Structure 1
């Protein structure tokens, strides 16, 4: 996979993650007290909000790492394992953009 294809994949992942962040922000809005839902439903909504906020933080961290990877893509050695010098699979780069080792060397 060449550099342009990797850039395209990272761009696609950035767009997807930004949409996910927007969805999480919408889902994590507080439940208003004037909403007439039961006590159990309100507790469930508060719990779901907490889970969504955690997912939001993880998505924001991933987005930051994807931007960092995009900034470094033009640097020599990007996408190569620092230990064995073999190419890091694009799936790993997209999942863990901060990775500088292949799966085998990261163990």
Structure 2
């Protein structure tokens, strides 16, 4: 990986991290239901309020997990190990890193984890 590519990926990681943190804040603010399950009128309203809360919580958990992975990648982007598959130790293609800058596996090794 060239120094320019490494710098590009560092900027991408920083940008993605900032965007996700903003989205997480907005998601957490927006997941507070207008009708709480305890004060909902009728069974359907209660179910809708609970579903809305669960969807918001799942979305927040997914964002927090990705924020953590991006932060870890940002910490090691300057290391020589960044950009290499942790399974086969081959370089991860730059195109994959541009799409998933926190990737730790090449496509072949990542697909072996799929069910």
TM (normalized to structure 1)? 0.78
1:43 matched to 2:64? no
Give the alignment's Cα RMSD to 1 decimal: 2.3
1:87 matched to 2:95? no
TM (normalized to structure 2)? 0.74
- Stretches of structure 1 that go unaligned for 5 or more consecutive residues are none
**Number of residues paired by the alignment?**
102
- Stretches of structure 2 that go unaligned for 5 or more consecutive residues are none
In structure 2, C-alpha distance between the alignment counterparts of 1:53 and 1:45, rounded to whole Å: 12
Q: Call closer, same or farther: CA 1:41–1:79 in 2, change over 3 Å.
A: same
Runs of 4 or more, structure 1, over 4 Å off, are none
1:2 matched to 2:10? no
In structure 2, C-alpha distance between the alignment counterparts of 1:65 and 1:92, rounded to whole Å: 10
Residues 1-107 of structure 1: matches in 2 within 5 Å? 2-30=5-33, 31-32=35-36, 38-39=41-42, 40-82=44-86, 83-88=88-93, 89-90=96-97, 91-93=99-101, 97=102, 99-106=103-110, 107=112
- Please report how far the alpha carbon of residue 42 of structure 1 lies from its aligned counterpart in structure 2 after TM superposition: 3.5
